[in-house]
Chain A
Amino acid sequence: MQATNILLLLFGLGVLAFYLGRGRSLAIAAPLGGIRKLHSLPSYYGMHTAFWCALPSLILLALWMIFDDPVINSMVIGAAAAEIAPSDTASYNLLLNKIGNLADGVLPRAGQTGPLLAAADHMVSLRQISRWSLTLLALVFSAAGLVLGLSRVASGFRARPAVEKVMQNLLLACACLAIFTTLGIVLSVLFESIQFFRSVPVTDFVFGLDWSPQTAIREDQVGSSGSFGAVPLFVGTLLVSAVAMLVAVPVGLMSAIYLAEYASKRIRTFAKPALEVLAGIPTVVYGFFAALTVAPYLRDLGSSFGLTVSSESALAAGGVMGIMIIPFISSLADDVITAVPQSMRDGSLAMGATHSETVRRVVIPAALPGIVGGIMLAVSRAIGETMIVVMAAGLAAKLTANPLDSVTTVTVQIVTLLTGDQEFDSPKTLAAFALGLMLFVVTLLLNIFALHIVKKYREQYE
């Protein structure tokens, strides 16, 4: 049976177990004088039985699916004839792929050598066995769990704490899942980056001032060696982000202050969702808005002032990105400003401060940690933003601080490095992982810095 079918079956069995357990507890309770004689509510007994029925099988299923393929693969290769035995990891993977494709029927059997076909048949039969034994074991586990669970239903049995313990562990498992996923992503990026740093020295990458990743595919082509200096990319990223923050922070903050402090209820109910619509616009729409509307406009405006503005400028990309980020800042800042207790405002107003003095001298300082937190989140968002810069900022890796010039960012380069057909052992492709790693480190440092700032300047009320 397929894993999906087993899953469905287990779900059905779980539901069945729930009703059986519940029914049994009711049956036990009836002669004792009603469910008040039970330790827990009948549904807890049902849940408890269902957990016993489904959880062991689910765990088995999960483990089986993790170890299924590696075990079968090694068995197949181990039993394969000597003439096709692989010599290194690359050919090992290639061979496995070939056998797997043969076994799945993706590769036509005609024209393949005998040992290969034998290995493929071996794989098919092993998979069959694995599947059947899994189904059988799962059913046995479920049945045993069901019987065990039902046998534990008794008037004195404390089903409620037991169920809650399981629930708690489920929550823990979900939290772990998120953490392990993050860890997994970091590690995979890290390992690819290490591979990259084998061919390009770390110092060249981190401090290099020249970025031209176009390596030749064949040795005899021109420009056979690329250069991987990441500095222009990070400068470009910071430039675009800085422009974005220059737009987003004042506008976002001030609109938040207006909404939280001055707007009447009617305006607020209308304006707040309207502002948040900005966050719902897809970034690709912002992208072509920046590239087709804002950038040409800026270029024409610049030329009327006698300035040369590139038609793909950091200013256009950053400005539009800033507009995109406004709702992040305004929404978060609005929340923290509203959370400042009214007693603070009353205290200040009663001293004869005007409303705006109260906002500037009392409310904003009290809300500062939250505001800084929101800004830092927005900075991370700006640094990681891709679509707008791909469309509006350009691809030329120039080392410049002039926002009127075209720049490129880390994310744009990752996109260009990884789109299309790529060979996964050339530094050109691996550079994307190194860039990703560095981007990750930079945002992490920013977050730590932000946390530190928040801790230092926290003005606690209460």
Chain B
Amino acid sequence: MSPADTAKPAKAASKAASKSAPKKVAKAKSAVPKVKKTEPKAKKAVAKTRKAVAPQFKAGQSLDIDDHQITVGKSFSDNAKMTMRNIDVYYGDKQAIHNVSIDIAKNEVMAMIGPSGCGKSTFLRTLNRMNDTVEGCRVEGDICMDGENLYAPKLDVVELRARVGMVFQKPNPFPKSIYENVAYGPKIHGLADSRVDLDEIVENSLRKASLWEEVKERLHQPGTGLSGGQQQRLCIARAIAVSPEVILMDEPCSALDPIATAKIEELIEELSENFTIAIVTHSMQQAARVSHRTAYFHLGKLIEVNPTEQVFTMPEHQLTEAYITGRFG
């Protein structure tokens, strides 16, 4: 089959779909002359080999998401902690993530941005298999951490989640004391041999989450009595108490005021010395402030991955540019 043969049905399909595409996108499309040339087969070849990073920069770009085939930029890393290849996620019949391949490097802060419903949270939740709890959710593709496939049948989900911690959008401390909140994970995983050990773990975790000074006098009061920002830091302390290797953060500051947000952001920077962090955020400024690399998602597809500075100054893809300049999203 020659490229010319495959281009035709692709074009027809894109025309049919563009009717239902968002209006803003459609408008932008007419404004920019379309460069339409894709090699549908190429994506698999690129994705299969990690080192074969040969993104076709300006080629294959279009503001029409249906034409999008290849992630532009530097998706892969030599020092990868987690490697994701050809990830598809389905909710029942609906496909939420389309063929995403990306690496997250050791001790890196990776930000994931994109308009609402673009699948960035779904993608994040595949990394510690939290999607298992959602009925009808199906993940295809390879996700490896240190070369170990996370979706292998013999893998222990419980152990995985201890290695990949998660912080949620809304602070969700357990209705227990501050101490019990942090001690929850260590107790479950038997990390402390004695009460003294446990005290130490709790104190260290709270210190790392820069919450210790604020709560050391009231460790045995309910965690739900803290302010929103403190609660979120408590959740971070809870997550790092089991010494995970990776921390996933799903819009950790969206329920917080600017001061609490600043504290969390500061914390993320400190944590990146010891942990690998993947953070989903709606705030582009936040992504620019805290992350080393930024991934832009659009309608379930990964459009661009590049060093954060580059994404916000010279984005490679027109869709990314359109998003960060506020043309939509």
Which residues of A approach B to under 8 Å, CB–CB?
Answer: 341, 343-354, 357, 361-362, 365-366, 459-462
Contacts and interface: CB of A to CB of B under 8 A. Distances in A.
A349 B166 CA distance: 10
A354 B161 CA distance: 10
A352 B242 CA distance: 9
Interface of B: 128, 130, 133, 158-162, 165-166, 168, 170, 172-176, 184-185, 188-189, 222, 224, 235, 238-239, 242
5 contacts: A344-B172, A344-B174, A349-B133, A362-B174, A459-B175
Contact of A461 (B159, B160, B175): B175
Contact of B174 (A347, A349, A354, A357): A347
Contacts of B224: 460-462
B184 A361 contact: yes
Contact of B222 (A344, A349, A353, A459): A459
Given A343-B170, A346-B168, A351 B176 contact: no
A365 to B, nearest CB: 7
B161 A350 contact: yes
A357 B161 CA distance: 14
A347 B175 contact: no
Contacts of A350: 128, 130, 161, 165-166, 168, 239
B279 to A, nearest CB: 15
Contacts of B189: 352
B168 A352 contact: no
Give the dominant DSSP class at B's interface. helix
Contacts of A459: 175-176, 222
A346 B171 CA distance: 11
Contacts of B160: 352
Q: Which 4 A-B pairs have the closest CB atoms?
A: A459-B175, A352-B162, A350-B166, A352-B161
Nearest to B224: A460
A354 B170 contact: no
Contacts of A349: 130, 133, 161
A362 B170 CA distance: 17
A324 B242 CA distance: 45
A462 B175 CA distance: 9
Given A353-B184, A353-B185, 8 more contacts: A347-B235, A347-B238, A350-B128, A351-B184, A351-B238, A352-B161, A352-B242, A362-B174
A365 B181 CA distance: 13
A460 B176 CA distance: 9
Contact of B172 (A343, A357, A361): A343
A308 B133 CA distance: 52
Contacts of B130: 346, 349-350
Which of A345, A347, A362 counts the most B-chain CB atoms under 10 A from its CB? A347
B99 to A, nearest CB: 26
A344 B168 CA distance: 10
A344 B238 CA distance: 13
Nearest to B156: A352
Contact of B175 (A345, A354, A357, A460): A460
A351 B188 contact: yes
Nearest to B186: A351
A345 to B, nearest CB: 8
A348 B184 contact: yes
A357 B168 CA distance: 20
B185 A351 contact: yes
B42 to A, nearest CB: 37
A117 B227 CA distance: 84
Given A460-B224, A461-B224, A352 B158 contact: yes
B185 A352 contact: yes
